[in-house]
Structures are given as C-alpha cells and as structure tokens.
C-alpha cells in the first residue's frame, strides 16, 4: 500500500470515528430526555452509551451497555425517598421506537438515600451509629429529671423494605421501661422503600456516614 493510500485510510478512519462519537453524543441526550419522562426523574441524568461502533448499535436499536447516573432521583409509592445519586449499568438495552419504551436485559448499580429521608419516614431523626448501624435519640422528662435515651439497630433489606435487627437501647437508670419500649417500637416493623426508578430493586444495604447505600439490580426490565 502506497503512502498516499495509507494517509487516505487514516483520514477516513478519523472521520468515521468523529462521526460515530458525534452521533453517540446526540443519542445520549435523547436517551436522557426519554428517561426523565419515563422514570419521572426530577432532572436530566447523565447517560453514556458504551461500545463501538455506535452507529451500528443505533441502526439495530440494540445497545450492549449504557451507563446512567441520576442525581437526584426519587422512589415512588408511600415512601417517596430522595436518592442522591443513583448509578446504573444497563446491559442489553433494546429500543422499540425510542428509549422511552426500551427494554433492559440486566441492570446493576447503587442508590444512596440520605438519613434525612429515612428520618421523615420514621418520624424521628436518624443518624449513622457506625458498624452498619443507625440510631435514634429521644428526650423525655420524668419526675423533673430529663433523659435522653437512644435506640440503635442494624438495617437489612428484605423484599423491597428495610427491616431492623439487633435493636439495642442505652441504659437509662430511673427511666420507666415503658418509655424505652416505646422508643424501641421505631425499629419494630418494616419500612417500605417504594419503587426505584428503572424498575430495579434493592438487594443489600450498607450504612455509611453520608447515607444508606443500596445495591440494586434488575432483569428483563421495561422502561416505558
């Protein structure tokens, strides 16, 4: 192959690469707009369609791997929890006339929910207590003496809800046991998390100082 042919080939490859990147960028924005509408997101998410060449994926309407970061997002249902942020990897995305009615073979990611949202749902201020635990502190006065008992628990995920294990209370001498039992009731039931965007569901939760980080997953999802 002559030097001229090599140069021409390189130029053609560069032009194709630039065109492919430009087309992917446009489609990223279209996907983001579609996800705002279909997933009821408060703001446009970051979307990146991975894989090359993009054009062939676009023609087929099938995408191997799409990265999505929604910040903020929100669960729906009775809980209505704020999510900051939600990071997802969508595998095997197939569009049917557009991303608004796409299907996803598999999705994995994380969703962080702050303690403020959990506090609203439980009706008490919840704080990080270390070692995968959270705690609630109350204030009560008995016979002129003020007590500040606290109760802590280790949350786990069970069928789309939080359940609380290893519930313990601080030793408050002189405080009636009935008051401690009332405080323990905060962590006695299930706390429904609601429906997460993109149809994923939580499988595990980790307590961090900045909030609860949920591992989320899903299979055979329809986004429309």
- Tens-place pLDDT, residues 139-153: 777 777 777 888 899
Per DSSP, what are the bridge partners of residue 63? Answer: 93
**What are the angstrom distances between the C-alpha of 10 and each of 3, 13, 15, 51, 56?**
11, 5, 9, 21, 20
Q: How many helices (H) and strands (E) does the chain have?
A: 4, 14
**159: nearest Cα among 184, 194, 126:** 194
Residues in the chain with pLDDT values less than 50: 8, 12-13, 15-16
Q: Could you tell me if 174 and 145 are in contact, meaning their C-beta atoms sit under 8 angstroms apart?
A: yes
The DSSP call for residue 99 is G
- 17/59 Cα distance (integer angstroms): 16
User: Whole-prediction pTM value?
Assistant: 0.85
- Give the pLDDT of residue 29: 82
């Amino acid at each position: 192959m002559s030097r001229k042919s090599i140069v021409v080939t390189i130029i053609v490859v560069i032009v194709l690469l630039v065109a492919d990147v430009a087309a992917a960028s446009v489609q990223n924005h279209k996907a983001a707009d579609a996800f705002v509408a279909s997933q009821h997101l408060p703001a446009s998410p970051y979307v990146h369609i991975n894989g090359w060449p993009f054009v062939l994926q676009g023609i087929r309407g099938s995408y191997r791997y799409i990265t999505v970061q929604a910040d903020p997002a929100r669960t729906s249902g009775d809980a209505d929890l704020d999510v900051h942020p939600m990071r997802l990897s969508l595998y095997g995305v197939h569009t049917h006339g557009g991303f608004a009615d796409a299907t996803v073979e598999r999705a994995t990611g994380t969703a962080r929910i702050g303690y403020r949202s959990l506090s609203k749902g439980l009706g008490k201020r919840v704080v990080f207590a270390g070692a995968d635990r959270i705690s609630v502190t109350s204030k009560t006065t008995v016979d002129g003496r003020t007590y500040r008992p606290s109760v802590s628990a280790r949350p786990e995920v069970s069928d789309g809800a939080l359940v609380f294990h290893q519930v313990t209370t601080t030793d408050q001498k002189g405080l009636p046991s009935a008051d401690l039992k009332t405080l323990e009731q905060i962590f006695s039931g299930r706390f429904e998390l609601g429906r997460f965007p993109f149809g994923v569901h939580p499988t595990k939760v980790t307590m961090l100082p900045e909030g609860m980080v949920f591992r989320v997953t899903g299979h055979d999802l329809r986004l429309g």
